[in-house]
Amino acid sequence: MKLIADSGGTKTQWVLLDDGVKIAECKTPGLHPYFMNSLEMSELIHDQLLPKLGDNIPNAIYFYGAGCSKTEKQAIVKTALANFFRMP
């Protein structure tokens, strides 16, 4: 199962796929590491994304996000996601 996120400054589009079949989809506010820290992102993921995923747990996450070109900004997003998902 793959979780794909397309995140900008104002919204994030999430899609959960299993063998190419859409299992779940939702929109949340944007996860932009220049404007949010890991704790704020974690709260948003917990409150708005996880309820939409139900018992489905992705084994891969593809996060395409604005503000994620620098390693330290990528770490903010990765830390937030790692609170809920197994990360490599």
Is residue 76 within 8 Å of residue 37, measured between CB atoms?
yes
| Domain definitions of the chain by residue range | 2-82
Reply yes or no on whether the pLDDT at 88 is more than 70. Answer: no
Predicted model pTM: 0.92
Each residue of 39-84: pLDDT tens digit? 999 999 999 999 999 999 999 999 999 999 999 999 999 999 999 9
pLDDT at 86: 85
User: What is the SS3 string spanning 21-52?
Assistant: EEEEEEEEECCCCCCCCHHHHHHHHHHHHHHH
Taking residues 5-26, what's their average pLDDT? 96
Closest of 22, 88, 21, 83 to residue 59, by C-alpha: 88
Per CATH, the number for 2-82 is: 3.30.420.40
